[in-house]
A = this chain, B = another copy of it.
Amino acid sequence: MKKSIFYHAGCSVCVSAEQDIIALIGADKVEVVNLAEHRNQIEEAEKAGIKSVPALVTTNGNVLHINFGASLADVKG
């Protein structure tokens, strides 16, 4: 089964949103990527259309930016 991907950067806003998203969608339906720990996936996140984290990329490729933790520029910097 294709999963949604939740990108975050370890910030408090991200962690809170992650818990909510997992509770809503189910842990088995979402892959969680911490871009602060996996910096090699930042480019993949940008290509998916992500401008800030936390964000959820749905299985059909739509990006839902959730609340506002950090811009990708800040994650890269």
Contacts and interface: CB of A to CB of B under 8 A. Distances in A.
A58 B22 CA distance: 11
Counted per complex, copies of this chain come to 2
A71 interface: no
A41 interface: no
Nearest to A67: B65
Contacts of A62: 16, 20
Nearest to A64: B66
Interface of A: 4, 16-17, 20-21, 23-25, 29, 56, 58, 60, 62, 64-68
Given A20-B62, A64-B66, A64-B67, 7 more contacts: A20-B60, A20-B64, A21-B64, A23-B58, A24-B56, A25-B25, A65-B66
